């Protein structure tokens, strides 16, 4: 009799197994998304730590470091600072002066060239150290010619491991958001101050990183 009641109760709840599978699928999808985000944060954070000098990962002959203030170009839309060929390289432009409120001072442009498609993992972004007087982050977007390929909303934040403060924002080039990788070509990176001058007048000094595998 007990077995009959149990069988009847199970038959009356046919959705139970389906719901269990759905919840399991959602948890699995969440874990996958979390792993991907953590992976990108790990890559970006490693670069950020290397640049600000708080860590010393393995050096590479394919890493190039330049003073931002000595790059060719004017940093404008029509004459961006030139980072050159970044294929298979990590290019770092250090000591870029703060972005301030008001056009054109809230934008600074950089250009780089890929002679082949980017490989996984690859990214472009900025590192910075916020403070009470300079609390605006630096936000990158990516364009090719007149077309914006990646908006600032695609940026991935990084945080200081000890304080939790924001210290960077990156755009993934490979894997590219939505799939694939960034193809060969010449691109323009627009580093922007987005916060209102009512809340912050300036970003900190910052570094630009393009890391292409």
Note whether residue 168 is domain-resident. yes
Q: What is the pLDDT of residue 42?
A: 52
Distance CA 67, CA 93 (A): 6
Q: Could you tell me the pLDDT band of residue 122, with boundaries at 50, 70 and 90?
A: very high
Higher pLDDT, 198 or 15: 198
Q: CATH number, domain at 102?
A: 2.60.120.380
Strands 107-114 and 185-192: antiparallel
| pLDDT tens digits, one per residue of 54-92 | 333 334 447 899 999 999 999 999 999 999 999 999 999
Give me the domain span that covers residue 107.
37-211
pTM over 0.85: no
Distance CA 66, CA 20 (A): 55
Mean pLDDT of the 42-55 span: 44
3-state class of 74 per DSSP?
Answer: coil
Question: Which residues, other chains included, contact 139 with Cβ-Cβ below 8 Å and sequence gap of 6+?
Answer: 126, 152, 155, 169, 191, 192, 193, 194
Note whether residue 166 is domain-resident. yes
pLDDT at residue 109 is higher than 60: yes
Note whether residue 92 is domain-resident. yes
Strands 206-211 and 107-114: unpaired
Note whether residue 173 is domain-resident. yes
Instruction: Tally the domains of the chain.
Output: 1
Is 207 in contact with 95 (CB distance < 8 Å)?
Answer: yes
From residue 167, how far is each of 47, 51, 126, 156, 157 by CA, in Å?
11, 11, 8, 11, 8
Unique residue bearing structure tokens 């972004």:
125
Note whether residue 177 is domain-resident. yes
Note whether residue 116 is domain-resident. yes
Average pLDDT over all residues of the chain: 79
| pLDDT tens digits, one per residue of 140-167 | 999 999 999 999 999 999 998 888 889 9
| pLDDT tens digits, one per residue of 7-35 | 444 444 434 344 444 343 334 333 333 33
Mean pLDDT of the 38-55 span: 44
Note whether residue 3 is domain-resident. no
* Radius of gyration, CA atoms only, the chain: 22
Q: What is the pLDDT of residue 47?
A: 54
Distance CA 125, CA 116 (A): 20
Note whether residue 26 is domain-resident. no
Mean pLDDT of the 90-116 span: 95
């Amino acid at each position: 009799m007990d077995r009959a009641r149990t069988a009847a109760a199970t038959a009356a709840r046919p959705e139970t197994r389906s719901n269990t599978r759905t919840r399991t699928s959602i948890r699995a999808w969440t874990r996958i998304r979390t792993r991907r985000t953590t992976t990108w944060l790990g890559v970006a954070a490693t670069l950020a730590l290397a640049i600000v000098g708080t860590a010393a990962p393995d050096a590479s002959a394919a890493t190039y470091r330049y003073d931002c203030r000595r790059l060719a170009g004017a940093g404008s839309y029509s004459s961006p600072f030139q980072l050159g060929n970044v294929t298979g390289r990590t290019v770092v432009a250090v000591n870029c002066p703060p972005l301030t409120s008001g056009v054109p001072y809230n934008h600074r442009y950089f250009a780089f060239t890929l002679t082949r498609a980017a490989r996984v993992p690859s990214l472009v972004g900025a590192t910075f150290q916020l403070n009470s007087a300079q609390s605006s982050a630096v936000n990158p977007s990516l364009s090719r010619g007149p077309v914006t390929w990646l908006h600032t909303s695609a940026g991935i934040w990084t945080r200081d491991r000890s304080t939790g403060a924001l210290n960077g924002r990156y755009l993934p080039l490979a894997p590219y958001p939505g799939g694939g990788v960034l193809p060969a070509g010449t691109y323009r990176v627009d580093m922007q101050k987005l916060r209102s001058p009512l809340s912050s007048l300036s970003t900190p000094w910052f570094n630009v990183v393009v890391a292409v595998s």
